[in-house]
Amino acid sequence: MKKNLWIFFIFFATYNISFADNLKIIDGDTIILNGEKIRFLGIDAPELKQTCIKNDQEVECGVSARMLLVKKIGNNIPKCISEGKDIYKRTLAECFVNGKSLSKFLIRNGYAFAYRKYSKKFIKDEEIAKTKKIGMWSMIFQYPWDFRGN
């Protein structure tokens, strides 16, 4: 029974989660909304394959970031404010559910970082999570940009 549950979890965690035909959650900072790939501006979340260490155990922190976003969005469709495109032709935007920033939520819960290279907007939110030692701040981790090598 436990083995089947684990296989289901791996499938669920790695499959692009879709809501109707208009929303897919790719990872902790990327969604596809109405066919448009949107990268959350000013934050960087761990990659899906990225792991962290907590209490000498490997933790799938990239999957955790994605699942936190899935839970926060729930059955809602985010409203996004576009600020242009990146070099990969993704729309850069800040997205909201019920008027609350998804980026701020992820950072405040320790599952995304202020992407200082592109924005200073979420630095204070990151400092709050770091001080509280929540999310990835309670683990040994690599910043996503270091994990990717850029």
| pLDDT at residue 21, as a whole number | 56
Residue 66: φ, ψ to 5°: -65, -45
Q: Are 108 and 125 in contact (CB under 8 A)?
A: yes
Residue 59, in any domain of the structure? yes
* DSSP code at position 140: B
Residue 8, in any domain of the structure? no
| pLDDT at residue 128, as a whole number | 98
List residues bridging with 143 in a β-sheet: none
**CATH at residue 45:** 2.40.50.90
What is the residue-level pLDDT of the chain in tens, covering all 150 positions? Answer: 444 444 444 444 434 444 445 999 999 999 999 999 999 999 999 999 999 999 999 999 999 999 999 999 999 999 999 999 999 999 999 999 999 999 999 999 999 999 999 899 999 999 999 999 999 999 999 999 999 997
**Measured between alpha carbons, how far is 40 from 90 in angstroms, rounded to an integer?**
10
**Measured between alpha carbons, how far is 18 from 133 in angstroms, rounded to an integer?**
31
β 43-44/57-59 pair status: unpaired
Q: How many domains does the structure of the chain reveal?
A: 1
| pLDDT at residue 150, as a whole number | 76
Residue 88, in any domain of the structure? yes
Domain extent for 78: 17-148
Residue 7, in any domain of the structure? no
Residue 1, in any domain of the structure? no
Residue 43, in any domain of the structure? yes
Residue 52, in any domain of the structure? yes
Residue 68, in any domain of the structure? yes
| pLDDT at residue 7, as a whole number | 41
- Residues 6 or more apart from 72 whose CB is under 8 A from it? 97, 102, 105, 106
